[in-house]
Amino acid sequence: MPAAIINGVRLNYVQLDDADGDGASREDLIMVHGLATNMAFWYFKYARAVARKFRVTLYDLRGHGHSEMPPTGYSPAVQAQDLAGLMDHLRIEKAHFLAHSFGGLVTLNFACAQPQRVSSLVLADINFLARRHVQTRRQWAYGLRFQPILDHHGLGLDTRDPYFGYKLLKRAAQWQLSGYEVPAEVVELVSPLLGKTGKRTSADWLKLLDTTSAEAEMMGDDGLALERLRALRFPILALYGDHSHARLTEAEVLTVWRHAVFRRVPDAGHFFPSTRHEETLSECNRFWGGGHTKAPLQQDASEGAASFLPAVKA
């Protein structure tokens, strides 16, 4: 696969374009993965499916996949500079974006700095730091039900911790390398670390955390202030899994982007793009095709807060 030196770091990337050869220029779509994964998160179930509509660009974040693992530079703000540099290298002036979790933080930092280069944005399960400075109005309902499972296995993790997702990924990677069987109830929350390449992915993830400043930088300031986010005016689709810890962000996200479309993926966890790809892709295609309309807020009686309308099942 090709690679480029961006901001002094070698980034691995790939482009797909299944145009019919009519010479017509195609809009660009850039897919940005989250932590403890790589471009394969999007490649097999998404990239080929949308390559007839867009010229698709995938890349490995620094420290992930086959990209270089430098000692520093893992904050969303620095990695947003990587994204901008890669776009410049590939001569992509403007693009649509599909981003998951931490990849969404990277993309939002880029969007806040250069909003004129964003055609639209699909965010899958993001949880930004600005939300954590807002007084919590409710608890993560699924987390309350999930906490006894963690306690039963002696994991020492608290679902109320705003960095719970990061810490769970680290613990799951340690499980993989020690041969400990991941509890069935935890599987969807840590799915990238399982499967055929799970041990290699786990080893790479722990190496990143143990040999670089990534852990401190990724759990530090994400560079996003609410006023910067409110200034974004391009089309936005926000998708959240019913059982995801990132759902604690929803009340603030709903007020930040009142022009955006919000959808829930029923009974899904944080990594629903990999486990529920048909539903996720269906929602994305509707959004890119202009088929979504702005959904009114509805009250979730079980959790006492404004919430998302359910996703349409594929």
Give the CATH number for residue 272: 3.40.50.1820
Measured CA to CA, the distance from residue 29 to residue 212 in angstroms comes to: 30
Q: How far apart are CA 159 and CA 68, in angstroms?
A: 32
Q: Which has the higher per-residue pLDDT, 202 or 111?
A: 111
Q: How confident is the model at residue 172 (pLDDT cuts 50, 70, 90)?
A: confident
Are 83 and 109 members of one domain? Answer: yes
Three-state DSSP class for residue 121: strand
* Rounded Cα distance, 159 and 167, in Å: 10
Whether 263 and 129 map to the same domain: the answer is yes
> In the prediction, which pLDDT does 91 show?
97
297 lies in the same domain as 270? yes
Q: Are residues 120 and 147 in the same domain?
A: no
DSSP 97: E
pLDDT digits (tens, 9 = 90+) for 240-254: 988 887 776 666 677
Q: Return the minimum-mean-pLDDT range out of 94-108, 125-139, 161-175.
A: 125-139
- pTM of the predicted model as reported, rounded to 2 decimal places: 0.88
The verdict on 225 and 299 lying in the same domain is yes
What are the tens digits of pLDDT across the range 66-124?
Answer: 999 999 999 999 999 999 999 999 999 999 999 999 999 999 999 999 999 999 999 99
Say yes or no: 126 and 59 in one domain: yes
Same domain, 39 and 96: yes
Name the strands in the sheet holding 9-16, side by side, starting at the edge strand that comes first in the sequence: 3-6, 9-16, 55-59, 28-32, 95-100, 118-124, 236-241, 261-265, 309-310
Q: Are 227 and 98 in the same domain?
A: yes
Per-residue pLDDT of 257-273, as tens digits, reads 889 998 989 988 888 99
Given 183, 218, 253, the domain boundary residue is 218
Query: Residue 131: is its pLDDT beyond 60?
Result: no
Instruction: Check whether 24 has a pLDDT greater than 90.
Output: no
Same domain, 33 and 147: no
Strand boundaries in 104-204, DSSP class E: 118-124
Query: How far, rounded to the nearest angstrom, does the alpha carbon of residue 269 sit from its chain's CA centroid?
Result: 12
Same domain, 163 and 204: yes
Query: Domain ends where: 218, 240, 262?
Result: 218
Distance CA 151, CA 153 (A): 5
Q: List, for residues 53-62, the tens digit of each pLDDT value.
A: 999 999 999 9
- Name the E strands within 66-150: 95-100, 118-124
User: pLDDT class for 10, splitting at 50, 70, 90?
Assistant: very high
Would you say the C-alpha torsion 245, 251, 257, 263 has a positive or negative sign? Answer: positive
Strand partners of residue 164: none
Residue 124 makes CB contacts below 8 A (sequence gap 6+) with: 98, 99, 100, 101, 104, 239, 240, 272, 273, 280
Chosen domain end from 218, 234, 261 = 218
Give how many domains the chain has, as a whole number: 2
Answer whether residue 307 shows pLDDT above 60: no
Q: Which domain holds residue 160?
A: 143-218
Q: Are residues 261 and 129 part of one domain?
A: yes
Say whether both 109 and 226 belong to one domain. Answer: yes
Mean pLDDT of 218-229: 88
